[in-house]
Amino acid sequence: MVVAQITSRLRTLVRPLMMASSRNLSSSAPEVLLEEVGNKGIITLNRPKALNSLNINMIRLIYPKLQEWETTKSMVIIKGAGEKAFCAGGDVRSIVETVNDPNPVGEYFFREEYILNCLIGTLHIPYVALIDGITMGGGVGLSVHGQFRVATERTLFAMPETGIGLFPDVGGSHFLPRLGGRLGMYLALTGHRLKGREVMKAGLATHVCDSARIGELEESLLKMESNYPEDVAAEGSEWSQKQLAILGKMSPTSLKVTFEQIERGANLTLPECLSMEYRIVSHIYKGHDFAEGVRAVLIDKDHKTSWKPATLADVPTDEVIKKHFDPLEPQKELTL
């Protein structure tokens, strides 16, 4: 009886210590895994509990390694840890929470993110993104500019920024207007989600592979002597449209900024697009709608947004365009 009581008390005491130890181990895990296999480099986004959302630390780990590997490796593979997401986007919550701090995250996050996007888009070696799972926002920036993007039936692709008072950045003004028809404008304004094979049909993925075989594909890529992965493409299915109801939920300011962004981006290079987007984000991330959108969608999760202005008609188009697209002070411009 006494032994049983002691054992029970020990369990009570030890359990919280074990849980704390587990939390400490989890928090100390590297947010990006960088591995070299022969003449190939592997980047693993390692924040599965946060759907591998991209933060400034991850950007600062990936960028110098990509620079190094461009001259020392024959291929780079990037993937996400876990089974839910490649990368669900940038860590915008930290940006909103520090917007009034002396050194707000937004002052350097977007600049460094766009510089990384540009490097990915101009790499001289094959860059293979295994976009198995949620791929949105910042995750799109880590994949779409690369030479190869492999989707699976679990891929969920979107640029949902207008719904949080932002705009489709990470080079959205470059790749979206280059999609067939006006699909890019539709995706930019509505944040519509493409699933599985639809992502390749839209031109955003280059290949499709069953998720159950993604590990096998990775092994094959690592064993390859040539620089080009096996074509596992297949036709995609059609996607549905519910524009008006969706647009009514988006930030009116973000919609007008996004429309102008995509129109301009059709005639710009990737570096020019990223420089333009840096001008936009330098203003928009400090505004009411971005903070409100992140609150409603990601923090409180009540999805009850209160946009200011509340309707498209209330947004002064000329004023908004001038504010977001005019050049910054010379020392603040992003030159790529």
- Residue spans of the domains in the chain: they are 32-332
Does domain 32-332 fall into CATH 3.90.226.10?
A: yes
pTM: 0.75
Distance CA 39, CA 23 (A): 35
Beta bridge partners of 157: 135, 194
For residue 27, the model assigns a pLDDT of: 54
Q: What is the pLDDT along the chain (336 residues), one digit of tens a residue?
A: 433 443 344 343 333 333 333 334 345 789 999 999 999 999 999 999 999 999 999 999 999 999 999 989 999 999 999 999 999 999 999 999 998 988 889 889 999 999 999 999 999 889 999 999 999 999 999 999 999 999 999 999 999 999 999 999 999 999 999 998 899 999 999 999 999 999 999 999 999 999 999 999 999 999 887 443 333 333 333 433 456 678 888 999 999 999 999 989 988 999 999 999 999 999 999 999 999 999 999 999 999 999 999 888 889 888 888 889 998 889 999 999
Residue type at 286 in one-letter notation = K
For residue 10, the model assigns a pLDDT of: 35
Taking the mean position of all CA atoms in its chain, how far away is CA 39? 27
Residue type at 63 in one-letter notation = Y
Query: How would DSSP label each residue in 153-187?
Result: TT-EEE--GGGGT----TTHHHHGGGSSTTHHHHH
For residue 243, the model assigns a pLDDT of: 62
| Tokens representing residue 252 in the block | 């009116």
| Count of beta carbons in the 10 Å neighbourhood of residue 261 | 25
The residues annotated with a catalytic role in the active site are 90, 138, 161, 169
